[in-house]
Amino acid sequence: MKKILFLSICLLHVLLLPFAGGRAEASDFGERVSGMAEITGLRVSVQDDKVRIVVDADGEVSFKTSALSNPGRILVDLPNTWLSPKVGKNTQIDSEYAKRVRVAQHDKTTVRIVVETEMGKGRYRVFNLSGNRVVMDFGKVDDAAESADVSENTSANTDDSVVPEGVPKLDPEDKINIAKYEETDEGDADAVDVQIANLTGLKGRSITIDPGHGGSDSGAIGPSGLMEKTVTLNVAMEVKRLLEAEGATVYMTRTTDTEVSPKKAHATDIEELQARCDIANRKKSDIFISIHMDSFSSETATGTTGYYYEKGSKKSFELADKVRAGLIEQIRTKNRGTRTCNFYVVRHTDMPATLVEVAFISNRREEALLNSKAGILKAAQGIVDGIADYFG
Ligand SMILES: [Zn+2]
């Protein structure tokens, strides 16, 4: 009896293990079609002079590459592949040569990788290793490899000595097939941008963003005097910009330091909050996100919390959870979890809704973060990542 129990625990563990880490959702495109290679991993290593991204598959993969400027992005399509749900979809890269890599099941049979990179800073090349690995290098791509790019010389760069330390080592017998890439003209930028928007799933979505407080209501005030209403607006405006760049339609409850209700400072709390809900409900937006900064009597409280209405839908939970996770990934705050609440704005909106407490304005360190341009940009990016994850 004991043995059976032990065995079943082990089995359960093995079954659950691939999904540990939170990104357990199955592909949007359902089951893997037989005969397709599975993309099993994506590794990023950052060197002083280059970034190497290695994509692992359990079978043969080919690829097609295109480049796009303003902003610089390299798209790598892997036909006849299926993305394992355990592969992280969005990885930030701390390098001047590449900023971020995103991977998604682009359609039923193609996995697409998008690398955000600044054109003109170094070079890039994409090549195939022993059939089941695709390697992308960004930065100071060495000359030997570059000449191979032209001559399709397969012997270049098979010497381990040219591989910088820490970069995944390549087997010497691996054959390198360096593919030519197509530079996409500026004129085609729109077409490629549409594809990128499809990748994030944000194109065509309508989203109401509610910067908490405003006007006569400052919200919480930090130890050095920073007002919550200022931070919520700064973050919200950047969220708007990022979402619109991805093709979403954004409705703002306010875009200046003001109350939302036409009664302004004379409105009751309920009238003010209902005015915010009315905007989302009238526009029939797909989701509603209210942005706030947390505050506590003790300065020691820190972290990020996602809230959704206690009687809300599973969708509201998912939205709250993903926005919170996206934020924490960007601003590295303590995880205070995704919690139920009874806040007016999430209770009286008709669509999946969340109220997110980005960080504690009452904590000196987090107040400083919220008072910095870098902090605002990161927080906004985190919220947008969460929204993209929700729709992805
Ligand atoms: Zn607030």
What does the pLDDT look like over 274-306, one tens digit per residue? 999 999 999 999 999 999 999 999 999 999 999
In terms of pTM, does the model score above 0.85?
A: no
Q: Are 177 and 130 in contact (CB under 8 A)?
A: no
pLDDT tens figures, 221-261: 999 999 999 999 999 999 999 999 999 999 999 999 999 99
What was the pLDDT predicted at 355?
A: 98
Residue 70 pLDDT grade (very low, low, confident, very high; cuts 50, 70, 90)? low
Question: What amino acid occupies position 165?
Answer: E
Residue 196 pLDDT grade (very low, low, confident, very high; cuts 50, 70, 90)? very low
Strand partners, 217: 214
Cβ atoms within 10 A of the Cβ of 169, count? 10
CATH of the domain at 214: 3.40.630.40
By residue count, the chain amounts to 392
Q: Which domain holds residue 76?
A: 22-185
Q: What is the Å distance from ligand 1's center to 357 Cα?
A: 8
Last residue of a domain, one of 185, 219, 238: 185
Do 163 and 243 share a domain, yes or no? no
CATH of the domain at 49: 2.60.40.3500
Do 30 and 63 share a domain, yes or no? yes
Q: What is the Å distance from ligand 1's center to 239 Cα?
A: 17
Do 154 and 225 share a domain, yes or no? no
Q: What is the Å distance from ligand 1's center to 218 Cα?
A: 9
**Residues, CB-to-ion distance under 5 Å, ligand 1:** 212, 219, 292
Structural domains of the chain, count:
2
Do 173 and 237 share a domain, yes or no? no
Do 35 and 175 share a domain, yes or no? yes
pLDDT tens figures, 39-49: 988 888 888 78
Q: How far apart are CA 63 and CA 83, in angstroms?
A: 14
Q: What angle do CA 386, 15, 13 make, to 5 degrees?
A: 100
Q: What is the Å distance from ligand 1's center to 290 Cα?
A: 9
Q: What is the Å distance from ligand 1's center to 203 Cα?
A: 29
Q: Could you tell me if residue 324 is inside a domain? A: yes
Do 129 and 216 share a domain, yes or no? no
Do 353 and 272 share a domain, yes or no? yes
- How remote is the C-alpha of 122 from its chain's centroid? 25
The phi, psi pair for 129, rounded to 5°, reads -115, 125
Last residue of a domain, one of 154, 185, 216: 185
Do 115 and 180 share a domain, yes or no? yes
Q: What is the Å distance from ligand 1's center to 381 Cα?
A: 20
Q: What is the Å distance from ligand 1's center to 240 Cα?
A: 19
Q: Are 329 and 322 in contact (CB under 8 A)?
A: no
Q: How far apart are CA 342 and CA 356, in angstroms?
A: 13
Q: Could you tell me if residue 38 is inside a domain? A: yes
Strand arrangement of the beta sheet that strand 206-211 belongs to: 249-252, 206-211, 287-294, 353-360, 304-309, 335-341
